[in-house]
Structure 1
């Protein structure tokens, strides 16, 4: 029997053969294996899988894609996807966009070698005997939209030997500026919902509302993806950051031992820093959403130097939870409470809760709702952090209490008016692996760019000077951090154009975040924009950029492969013995960076996948997130 790859509850859309038959929507348990995707009836009271309702063989799948939601779709049907096979499309509705993305990209990975994969698809539903997108009345009609990448970004064929591209044509194609990103829909929240504050929040603008950790609030208005208007238990109203609250029904967030979005290396560092025998925390498992791991620190035999053990929380077919020995519990808090008093197969009972949640509240999108222009008189400059392409960067405080980084833009280095307009859009980009833009000071010269401050500084310096004896897991988790931040930018149609270790920062937990995304568009420096100049990022650029200045998300993929190489060489200079002219010639002729000593063959294959000569043969960042997670899972099992 094939091992389950993914398992989730979806709403399935059904319609009888007659086009006049009504649609119906039923919740089904979907299970993906290497051989098929099957769906089952499900007993929600008992948490039990019941009878098989249907299945699709993996080798019969021709396309996996999103579907544009129906007009005025209810909240539970905002995230549809389609699996197209011989009998037509199978429509499923995920609970969140993250779940949908995970299933789509895992399915694309599984079906990438299938025959007869489609190159066109229908982006809208088949309904009432017609495709809503193109009004064709034949269900087997060829799709009306071209897929961006065939096979989910994977190439089926063998890689051909690279040839030197033709020289650039006299009329160089002007790079197309991407459309400004649309704020993502906030899944799971709705007006009237009761939420619980995960963190304290002190109002930063007069219209903000104070949040007190673990207290309840009611959502009055969803302003955008980043801010809600809410009311507390005492009748006070104001704006709150959406990433500081969780739905009241989601039980784990209220417990101090639950550390959301923490990876294995970060858990081990935190437990070793606390250095308490029996110290523990619960974190998300890397492989699947909705799965959890208990990380425990132990000092065997009373030694000062301890070690960490990691236990996946397992579930029975009846939905009961257990750890090492089969002591079953109806929920995770009961399981943790039991093991706080009984080791029962663990290396130690769970003696001490270890958490960094209170000290590490996430960054907000702006310093208060609607605030993007910052008064420079509220900034205090403390020390210089470095000198970049646009000028000096300093560490400082906003209103004397919030840590910030301040880029002081030297005059003549940037197309300021264009950037100021773009800054309003960039502030809405929010992801745990992106450095948050807080706002700008544009009423004086030089203008300032105010961002989140990360205490461990530049990734390149961190690799060269601060990282001591890193493990294989730690290095790959850094790569995964960057890939997830870039996957978010990719989903927002944003191109970085200068991705490299020097443009990533490291926070106090060791999390890597991407910075300076899109800023190279505003450089006023002919030498920087020319591949002949020493300032141009030649060492991180693919052939189409070196020869035609053609930027895309696929040129960012190439740069990511070089950044992985930087991580696995602990910050060495790519092509260190070559000058720019030699690099352009060699890369165009098919030369690629060598395998770093710390990277095994599988890691190096991820890098080389990013360095295909043809841009459309490179994976997407969503593909890379899945690939890297698969490699990480194998490392977890062997370490």
Structure 2
């Protein structure tokens, strides 16, 4: 084991691999050796190092620099610095300026002989899909500030004729005289919540109440107020003002979201289904890659020699100076320029980009509520269409709000829920918004039974989808389902929310096969004693860890255990966990170390993730943030193992 050079406890910021990734901060023990910088979970009370959370090889580090702290930041975030490597920046917060200076000095010393040291860096943070310093939206974009060298004399002294001592002294005096003053720390250019900025609408929006402002796809709007995360006050070009859903707009500029060929949050399986349905030579789309911060071009062709045609997936690569390419000979400053070129030239791809894959309907994302400030829904505005199922709280029906918006309506049977407590909590729950959570729109409490109104997902519950709809899925498709759930749960974890009843039956599937978690936190309001007692059949024993079975101790780590069981459900296409045992037998077996077997479709690496979720001690289980990272890496690796071919240097990289 390498000798430790430095050790210290720092605050670490999550790497925010996507715009949707939760941004959070964790205390970690950092250990620097000659080979790696590693960070560990740490028990402060016992002064004991725990599980390894991550590491960076020294020879992969490209840059070590300070970071300008964000405006009005907390005192524990005043001294940030960054370690830049292939994955992007690792942000660390030291407790004092002296400690930061010591670490930066030592890190620069150990990386000084690295081959790919950067010449430029980003002095401000990467936040929500852009650099705060230069507003570039590519994480691997070249830095915007030159790294100042302090080794001028040493470089001069390497010339064939070394200078005399007098010349050395003159060089030092000259360097001191000409050395520029260090740059003054500049505040983050991110606009304050009340500042005006211009955005472009990505979807049409019809106002749901008098306070709202209509949106037209492609039109520009001025943002006047951003005090509510989900609803911004805006003004249109005619001077009309009102509230708009913040996830319906993007900042005006060169964003990918405004192009019809870009399909945000679409995975590989969904892209293939869409392209094969299109069934046109050269049909294509651009989507987020499973590799964080990268994009993929997916193309359909009938010229592959395979019956019915096939899809090819090409990574959009980046040069050292931030240029984009599919074929290395053809580099472009922006992705739209790259796409325009390949619409006319295949340049090594299976086909040129002929037809944008036509979504039947570009689904607008869910809004947090049915209008700004609306959480109480008038039952007269609800129309019931058909019954979807019968759950713990009562009947769930598909319905319409105001005759045109699809919603799901839970009709809460009296006596099943602590209603007053839930109604207060619902106001908070409505503000939770994530692409992999079922959106709560509001509640109807003026009558009995009360209604809970949520987003409607056409493919129903994941458990039924696995058992009845999914036919011969590929391993990548199953892992993508796990990734969807893990990202939704990572967001809940970042908001300090505990689900308590995570299982396939409590996830839903939309038109495109995207998985969303539902009913998070509802089990807290159950009044049925059977549901909360391990002796009763309704208690989710099969998804519960030892600390819940023994002490009813719920935490995000008990959700982690349940997620492992949910992964098992996915990989067995909906089998009942521990199907041969009753509840009492399950508890005895779990406490004696017995775990669910490896499903046939799960390889050893996938099963190892499940096993990590089922560690006996809660503190030994990973967080959802870590699980998302595991699954993303495994998904990319699985795609490489499955079909990636590295062709000649001048041709595109095929996934």
TM-score by length of structure 1 reads 0.74
Distance in 1, matches of 2:583 and 2:563, equals: 19
Match of 1:583 in 2: 586
Give aligned pairs, total: 501
Quick one: which of 57, 75, 99 aligns to 1:34?
57
Closer, same or farther: CA 92–523 of 1 in aligned 2, 3 Å? farther
Distance in 2, matches of 1:258 and 1:475, equals: 23
Is 1:350 aligned with 2:360?
no
Match of 1:609 in 2: 612
Match of 1:626 in 2: 629
Closer, same or farther: CA 68–506 of 1 in aligned 2, 3 Å? farther
Quick one: which of 393, 396, 399 aligns to 1:396?
399
Quick one: which of 218, 235, 246 aligns to 1:214?
218
1:274 shift after superposition: 1.2
1:256 shift after superposition: 0.5
Quick one: which of 76, 88, 95 aligns to 2:126?
95
Residues 33-56 of structure 1: per-residue CA shift (max 9 Å, x gap): 53357455xxxxxxxxxxxx669x
Computed over aligned residues only, the root mean square deviation of the Cα atoms, in angstroms, reads 2.9
Match of 1:365 in 2: 368
Residues 456-495 of structure 1: per-residue CA shift (max 9 Å, x gap): 0000000000001100000000000000000000000000
**Contact 2:16 2:127 (C-alpha < 8 Å) held by counterparts:** no
**Contact 1:278 1:296 (C-alpha < 8 Å) held by counterparts:** yes
Quick one: which of 571, 576, 583 aligns to 2:574?
571
Closer, same or farther: CA 247–86 of 1 in aligned 2, 3 Å? closer
Quick one: which of 478, 498, 501 aligns to 2:501?
498
1:357 shift after superposition: 8.7
**Contact 1:209 1:239 (C-alpha < 8 Å) held by counterparts:** yes
Distance in 2, matches of 1:361 and 1:535, equals: 37
Closer, same or farther: CA 68–511 of 1 in aligned 2, 3 Å? farther
Distance in 1, matches of 2:602 and 2:352, equals: 36
Distance in 2, matches of 1:628 and 1:227, equals: 32
1:254 shift after superposition: 1.6
Is 1:224 aligned with 2:255?
no
> 5 Å matches for 1:85-124?
88=102, 93-96=124-127
**Contact 1:82 1:92 (C-alpha < 8 Å) held by counterparts:** no
Distance in 1, matches of 2:468 and 2:495, equals: 34
> 5 Å matches for 1:468-507?
468-507=471-510
1:96 shift after superposition: 1.2
**Contact 2:76 2:93 (C-alpha < 8 Å) held by counterparts:** no
Match of 1:281 in 2: 285
Closer, same or farther: CA 471–340 of 1 in aligned 2, 3 Å? same
Unaligned runs of 5+ in 1: 1-5, 9-31, 41-52, 56-65, 101-185
Closer, same or farther: CA 505–189 of 1 in aligned 2, 3 Å? farther
1:548 shift after superposition: 0.3
Closer, same or farther: CA 36–239 of 1 in aligned 2, 3 Å? farther
Distance in 2, matches of 1:544 and 1:37, equals: 41
Distance in 1, matches of 2:505 and 2:376, equals: 27
Match of 2:207 in 1: 203
Quick one: which of 528, 531, 543 aligns to 1:528?
531
Residues 571-599 of structure 1: per-residue CA shift (max 9 Å, x gap): 00000000000001110111100000010
**Contact 2:223 2:234 (C-alpha < 8 Å) held by counterparts:** yes
Closer, same or farther: CA 221–628 of 1 in aligned 2, 3 Å? same
> 5 Å matches for 1:45-444?
69-70=73-74, 81-82=91-92, 88=102, 93-96=124-127, 191-289=195-293, 291-300=294-303, 305-356=308-359, 358-444=361-447
- Of structures 1 and 2, the one with the larger relative CO (CA 8 A, separation 6+) is 1
1:257 shift after superposition: 0.5
Closer, same or farther: CA 241–589 of 1 in aligned 2, 3 Å? same
Q: Secondary structure at the match of 2:199?
A: strand
Q: Secondary structure at the match of 1:460?
A: helix
Quick one: which of 596, 599, 602 aligns to 2:602?
599
Closer, same or farther: CA 97–318 of 1 in aligned 2, 3 Å? closer
Distance in 2, matches of 1:454 and 1:498, equals: 19
Closer, same or farther: CA 200–471 of 1 in aligned 2, 3 Å? same
**Contact 1:325 1:345 (C-alpha < 8 Å) held by counterparts:** no
Distance in 1, matches of 2:373 and 2:256, equals: 31
Closer, same or farther: CA 190–279 of 1 in aligned 2, 3 Å? farther
**Contact 2:193 2:225 (C-alpha < 8 Å) held by counterparts:** no
Q: Secondary structure at the match of 1:337?
A: helix
Q: Secondary structure at the match of 1:527?
A: coil
Is 1:456 aligned with 2:464?
no
Closer, same or farther: CA 343–423 of 1 in aligned 2, 3 Å? same
Residues 369-406 of structure 1: per-residue CA shift (max 9 Å, x gap): 00000000000000000000000000000001100000
Q: Which moved more, 1:478-487 or 1:265-274?
A: 265-274
Q: Secondary structure at the match of 1:591?
A: coil
Residues 599-628 of structure 1: per-residue CA shift (max 9 Å, x gap): 010000000000000000000000000000
Distance in 2, matches of 1:282 and 1:526, equals: 50
1:235 shift after superposition: 0.8
Residues 493-552 of structure 1: per-residue CA shift (max 9 Å, x gap): 000000000000000010000000000000001111100100000000000000000000
Residues 314-369 of structure 1: per-residue CA shift (max 9 Å, x gap): 12222222113521222111111111111110000000001439531100000000
